[in-house]
Amino acid sequence: MSEKKEPIFSKKNKKLISDPLNLNNPVTIQVLGICSALAVTVQMDNAIVMSVAVLFVLVMGNLIVSLMRNLIPTKIKIIVQLVIVAALVIIVDQVLKAYVYDVSKSLSVFVGLIITNCIIMGRLEAFALGNKPWASILDGVGNGLGYGMILVIVAFFKELFGSGGITIPGLGKLDLIPEFMYNIGYEDNGLMLLPPSSLILVAIYIWVQKSRTPSLIDENAN
Amino acid sequence: MSINKEGNSYTMIFAIIMVVIVGGLLAFISSTLKPIQMENVKNEKMQNILQAIGIEETANVTRDEAGAIFNDYITERIILDFDGNVKSNLSNEVAIKPASRKRTDETDAFNVDVRKYYNDLTGLMKKYPERGAEYEAGLKEEGITYPLFVCENEGKKFYITYFSGKGLWDDIWGYISLKEDGRTIVGSVFDHKGETPGLGSKITEVPFNEDFLGKVITTEEGVYRPIKVIKPGKERKEYEVQGLSGATFTAVGVDEMMERSFSVYNKYFKSLALNNFSTSDQQVETVVISDSFSQMTPDTNQVLANK
């Protein structure tokens, strides 16, 4: 990589990582990967492992597609990307089953569903097909983190208000709502555990994000 | 380069090479990891059985330890048929063998895959909604059997049952351990494939399982009485278990699989004549008879009951 003119972490490359965290967040701005943000956010630990798995698939997929970008026939490029993503997901699933069986059990079907996560196909198509490998890796890391960030934030509020605590991988469940709150009549809100509450939380996040960054507001929208 | 990347032949060749490489890679990974994965599944089953016994020594056994101590605790592995007769009985001196190819040849209860059996059962249950003789014949033909594990620890006997059914989304299954009287629940482990996290998935957690402890599957007279999972917050009878909010269908599945399986296990426990079943058998009949002749005079009832 060093023979290239630009340094590894040039300003442009840094932007590849920082943009998806805020200005170009895959979930809240690009509106990709909403489906799994609704489903895998009931418990914090699932959200974290899911984020890591998506991050891995996204980075590897971006890298492979970027390396092959001059070889892939345009007629079947979507199929080729799909095959690469599917193969990566199966590898992740098999490795999890063999070496971290408990994690694979708690994620169950969601690992397989990474294939359908629109962020992955979206980034392969929009970025990796037209950029060099290193930039593609950074783009994968950035979007993976941006996705994971939303997942973790949504999961935090859902689990906190839905079941009164947060499950951290390796530590188990930490009860954050103190007992006396329950004694004076506080109750966990079951609705928070269901998918609709994710939509509400994501919407609130977008609201906060846009009010803090006016440049994101679409001037032409009525 | 002179290769025409837009041409059909390039596209075809590319696709073929890609499929061969990806297919070969996945086949290789799958076959190398298969033994480790199988070992995990086997150890997990052992762990579940051990944890379900309901004794302190094995309550917190880890998956890796389970394989080593399984045979120290589980002394018998029994396969029951639909009538509750023993089809095969292996002691812990017989090592666990790989599963037989044909289900009807299976002799090791450890290899009885109740989840697979349940899938075949659903076909039969749909075909014969009234159950009856044809349904039972179908069960026999399919080779549907019921595994039972016996644990002996410090002079006490435990019977661990294993059954499967459907939750809201996918398979659920459970292990329930009964005390030596064959009717009191002393331990349970439930698991699921894809119930909603935070709702139905809570059947694996302690509060749900704790409520099963001490519940009794037969009445004083020895009549089988299914355990019911009821909505949380309601007042519960001795055979009712506290359900989970937002997981009604998972609870319905738990009810169904327990009722279906325990109706078979109970036949076996009855035949063992544990504790007072030998006398209560007669009482069962009198209960049934007096029910059906409830219109008769008290005298006739008395006569029938004394028969």
The predicted pLDDT at position B283 comes to: 42
Domain ranges of chain A: 29-221
Chain A residue numbers with beta carbons less than 8 Å from the beta carbon of B37 are 94, 97-98, 101
CB of B246 within 8 Å of a chain A CB? The answer is: yes
Q: State ipTM.
A: 0.73
Written as one letter, the residue type at A75 is K
CB contact under 8 A, B22 and A94: no
CB of A172 within 8 Å of a chain B CB? The answer is: no
Residue B25 has pLDDT above 90, yes or no: yes
Distance CA B192, CA B115 (A): 11
Burial class for B68, CB neighbours closer than 10 Å (0-12, 13-18, 19+): exposed
Q: Are strands B146-153 and B74-80 parallel, antiparallel or unpaired?
A: antiparallel
Residue A3 has pLDDT above 60, yes or no: no
Residue B144 has pLDDT above 50, yes or no: yes
Which B residues 60-89 touch A at CB under 8 Å?
Answer: 63
Residue A129 has pLDDT above 80, yes or no: yes
CB of A44 within 8 Å of a chain B CB? The answer is: no
CB of A100 within 8 Å of a chain B CB? The answer is: no
Residue B289 has pLDDT above 70, yes or no: no
Distance CA B114, CA B268 (A): 18
The predicted pLDDT at position B200 comes to: 84
Helix H or strand E encompassing A197: helix A195-212
CB contact under 8 A, A46 and B197: yes
The predicted pLDDT at position A108 comes to: 66
CB contact under 8 A, A73 and B193: no
Residue B26 distance to chain A (closest CA, Å) = 7
Q: Higher model confidence: residue A9 or residue B211?
A: B211
The mean predicted confidence, pLDDT, of chain A is 84
Residue A83 has pLDDT above 50, yes or no: yes
The predicted pLDDT at position B288 comes to: 40
Taking residues B187-193, report their average pLDDT: 89
Q: Least CA distance to B246: which residue of chain A?
A: A190
CB contact under 8 A, B63 and A101: yes
Distance CA B173, CA B163 (A): 6
CB contact under 8 A, A42 and B197: yes
The predicted pLDDT at position B274 comes to: 65
Residue B114 has pLDDT above 90, yes or no: no
- Segment A106-123, tens digit of pLDDT: 676 778 878 878 888 888
Residue A56 distance to chain B (closest CA, Å) = 17
pLDDT > 70: percent of chain B: 87
Distance CA A50, CA A111 (A): 7
Q: Least CA distance to B199: which residue of chain A?
A: A193
Band of residue B300 on the pLDDT scale cut at 50, 70, 90: very low
For helices B277-292 and B248-272, angle between their N-to-C axes, nearest 10 degrees:
120
CB of B22 within 8 Å of a chain A CB? The answer is: yes
Distance CA A213, CA A22 (A): 9
Band of residue B161 on the pLDDT scale cut at 50, 70, 90: very high
The predicted pLDDT at position B243 comes to: 83
For residue A65, the tally of other CB atoms under 10 A from its CB is 25
The mean predicted confidence, pLDDT, of chain B is 80
Taking residues A141-169, report their average pLDDT: 88
pLDDT > 90: percent of chain B: 16
Taking residues A9-14, report their average pLDDT: 77
Written as one letter, the residue type at B234 is K
- Segment B37-65, tens digit of pLDDT: 988 888 988 998 998 888 887 888 888 88
Chain B residue numbers with beta carbons less than 8 Å from the beta carbon of A79 are 15
The predicted pLDDT at position B2 comes to: 60
Band of residue A6 on the pLDDT scale cut at 50, 70, 90: low
